[in-house]
Amino acid sequence: MKKALSIFTLLLLMAVTMQAQDNKKPDWMRWHYLSEEEMHDKSRGMTFVETDPPTGTPRFVAEFEPMQGVMIRYPLGIPESLVAQLSNNCMVYCIVSGSQQSQAQSTFQNAGVNMSNVTFVNAQSDSYWVRDYGPWYIFEDRNPAIVDNIYNRPRPNDDNMSQVFANFWQIPMYGMRLEHTGGNMMEDGRGHGVSDDLVFQENQQDYGINEATVRQRMNDYLGINPYHVTIDPQGDYIAHVDCWGKYLAPDKILIAQLPQSNPRYQYYEQVAEYFATTNCCWGYPYHVYRVQEPGGYTLAPYTNSLILNKTVYVPIGTNNTYNQQALQVYQEAMPGYEIVGVANNTYTGWENTDALHCRTRGVMDFHMLFVDHRDVLHGEQEWQDSIPVVSKFIAYSGQNLKQDSLLVYYSIDGGTYHTAHMTATGNPDEYVGYIKGYQGESEIDYYVFGADESGHRYTQPVFADLDPHHFTMEAHEPPTPQGELVITPDTLWFTQMGQDRQFNIINETNEAVTIIDVDPEAPSFNLWDNTFPYTLQPGETLVVTINFQTAPGKDTYIPYEILVRTSLGDKIVMGMVLNTSLDSGFVIVGAPVLEFNDPGDSPQQACMQNRFFGSQIPVKVLSVTENGTDYLSFEPQGTLPYMVEPADYFYLDVYVNAMVKGYAVTTFTVQTDQNDCTYSVAINEDLLSVTELSAETKLYPNPTIGQFTVEGANVAKVEVYNLVGQKVHEAEGQVVSIDAAEWNKGIYLVNIIEQNGAVVTKKLVVR
């Protein structure tokens, strides 16, 4: 080791001496790992062609965004087994010369590579560091493009690779006259970028380009602003950011950490402190994750990982304890991702400054869906009854967005997630959804989801509910409403599977009331057409539809509670479920009592079902008989006798023909050849008073199927009303004939006005 250090010291002194003699000689430290021929090569950047920047808006896509593929080079700098893993993730674009393609294909096949996911791109290359010289993919507005720069190595084939892939994809390429390298560039996909100060040093030293111009060109060609340029904490020859740091998400950065005893410890801490106190694109300081490295010559290249769709490939070092800690940090920072440790025991094995990230480069999905929610809610928010979430959705596929799949998912105080549909704001690509139902000091998690017609889906944050956006609503004391929240009816009767029942929530207070949730006790209840929380304004009525989906059992009603949670407290609606067994006979479906409380209630419908499900016995309905009174008339759904097959229903319309003063109850029975069904009928006469006609005044025929006549010596005028109080006919005379053939079937009230002003009301049945 001492001998090696002495040789290194001698070389360094020679380099310093030579540079002092001729300041045009290359910086050997900066160009470490170059051959002697490369060190003296003057062709660096000679083939570069500068162009104007994009005329559209550029967006430099982040590594953690959707990728259609990954670029590698053959001969390989990565293990063949890793190529096999990558080929099961996405397309592998392998740069290979034509003379070596068959060899590459044979190598991949022997290694178990999925060859259907391999595309060979024939091109000459000088090295396998495709991260450094590969094309920088951007979107210009909605179209893919490539930005080329001057590669800071005198390797002309590598430096030409951007043009190779621009031709391969048939997309535009823009020449940005800056000396740069992919290993010293990371971006968040939303305009923030990070490099260390090598980018300033090289451009000033080699081309006389100052810092301000560097920043301006990064903005013009790549849309990078702000551009975070830090010191190089590693202090190594290569000065690449991916040797010590990495974007894991727009608000997450991974920074290596050395033991305090290491001389470089303070520089790593300085960079980590910078990001911990610098706002990310979403308006709050970065979450800084630290990955421990032992320092020295122990191999630990953990930040030099590759994020590819929902997998992170992490290069593994020589210390297993540090390896496991590094994988754990990635898993903590990126929940829901698969974290894969990758060893490299080949002759091109990993190094601390050159590992997996340096030798691969992702290819963005040209048809991705981009969810761009910039104004992220965080910290404590000022109170408002509902809070808007605004996001842009960019479908680079050119397909339409799925309007019903643009959603805000949110959870209040750790509860289940609710959804809010987003609607267009009128600004290009912009939609808004509203979070509701929280209280003062509520803790709210949320994320935004979108989908388009091409099948692309995306969330922000990409971790969705595993690591959502989070904010707190400020303390708020809502005013005490005057009045009450009314729920009617308070009991729902369910008599068959698939049945819908409704109840109303009426806000009779003077303030808005939040219906937080409706939570049925029975899992077989479903809510139809309601999204909660729902803000119910004063005087507003919310109709809640409950559907019962479990098959019936025994002939009893089982009570279930339906909990209605509101900002004024909880209320209970009872759900009564009829449990009907097999072969239970011909049964009443619904409540066995018909109530006539209003003129509009007539007719009422009675419903029965043949529930001989097991024995499949048909039921013959023979007759319908009122028991002891003569208040009712009946209209069955078909001519009696009527055959009802198993599982079929029988309907009977019931009319009130005559009323008695006060509240009367009668019954009627439906007779069948199997068993009888008896209904009770409650009639409130106070709402509908009928006086009998005098003997000399006649109304005939009644019931009628068409024309009817009112005749009497004292008749002056006839008025006919339906049961909702609308006048349908009026005529004068002692004999009045009226054609009712076009009228709706049902009961009508005929007011017969006599010459002395007396009014006699008679019920008319039109069939």
Return the active site residues: 358
Alpha-carbon span 492 to 577, nearest angstrom: 8
- For residue 547, what are the β-bridge partners? 500, 526
Query: What separation in angstroms does the CA of 74 have from each of 11, 79, 84, 359?
Result: 32, 11, 14, 11
Alpha-carbon span 288 to 256, nearest angstrom: 10
Alpha-carbon span 228 to 217, nearest angstrom: 14
HEC states along 43-104?
CCCCCCCCCCCCCCCEEECCCCCCEEEEEEECCCCCCHHHHHHHHCCCEEEEEECHHHHHHH
Given a contact cutoff of 8 angstroms between Cβ atoms, the answer to whether 342 and 82 are in contact is yes
In 3D space, the residue among 466, 251, 275 whose CA is nearest the CA of residue 376 turns out to be: 251
The b/e string for 540-553 (b: 16+ C-beta within 10 A; e otherwise) is: eebebebbbeeebe
- For residue 600, what are the β-bridge partners? none
At 616, list the tokens. 């499949």
At 653, list the tokens. 């319309």
Of all helices (H) and strands (E), which one includes residue 158?
Answer: helix 156-159
The alpha carbon dihedral of 727, 731, 736, 738 has a sign of: negative
Q: What are the DSSP E strand ranges found in 629-676?
A: 632-636, 642-644, 649-656, 663-672
Given a contact cutoff of 8 angstroms between Cβ atoms, the answer to whether 67 and 295 are in contact is no
HEC states along 602-640?
CCEEEEEEECCCCCCCCEEEEEEEECCCCCEEEEECCCC
Count of C-beta atoms within a 10 Å radius of residue 739: 11
Q: Of how many residues is the chain composed?
A: 767
Residues whose CB falls within 8 Å of the CB of residue 461, separated by 6 or more in sequence, listed in order: 249, 250, 251, 447, 467, 468, 469
The b/e string for 700-718 (b: 16+ C-beta within 10 A; e otherwise) is: eeebbeeebebbbeebebb
At 448, list the tokens. 């935004």
Alpha-carbon span 434 to 386, nearest angstrom: 6
HSE toward the beta carbon, residue 396, CA cutoff 13 A: 23
User: Helix 211-222 to helix 198-207 angle, to the nearest 10 degrees?
Assistant: 110
At 72, list the tokens. 């590698």
